[in-house]
Amino acid sequence: MMKKLLIEVGELTDKEYARANEQYPAFASDHEGHDVMTEEIEEAEEELENIHSIEIAMKFAIRKNSAEDVNKTAMAMYETAQKMAAESIQVAAMAQKIIESRQIRKTKKWPALPMLEGGKG
């Protein structure tokens, strides 16, 4: 089951990568790519923190034997886990974009930097 799921995640990653490329050009540098990927990692971490908080709330709801609260926390877990999965897919897509951007920079001429005063670019 995990193998099939990973194939499907790879397909979603490819779609996210294509969507990102439609909106933004290749990364001009590894630093830029790293910064964008780091932002996505931080967003995934925030969702993981939310998952931990929801799990604690669910544990207390179960101890209270509160069906309503268990349902609420289960729904919150469902939604938050999907958000985390989406953020993780964005991390993978940005890693792919870093790889592809490096290839583009190797094979294409990028515009030269303008000369600064004093003749240093």
Q: Which residue has the higher pLDDT, 1 or 92?
A: 92
Are 90 and 13 spatial neighbours (Cβ–Cβ below 8 Å)?
no
Residue listed under structure tokens 């990102």: 20
Q: Distance between CA 40 and CA 4 in Å, rounded?
A: 25
Question: Is the confidence at residue 58, as pLDDT, over 80?
Answer: yes
Output the pLDDT for position 107: 85
User: pLDDT of 4-34, one tens digit each?
Assistant: 999 999 999 999 999 999 999 999 999 999 9
User: pLDDT of 42-51, one tens digit each?
Assistant: 999 999 999 9
Question: Is the confidence at residue 96, as pLDDT, over 90?
Answer: yes
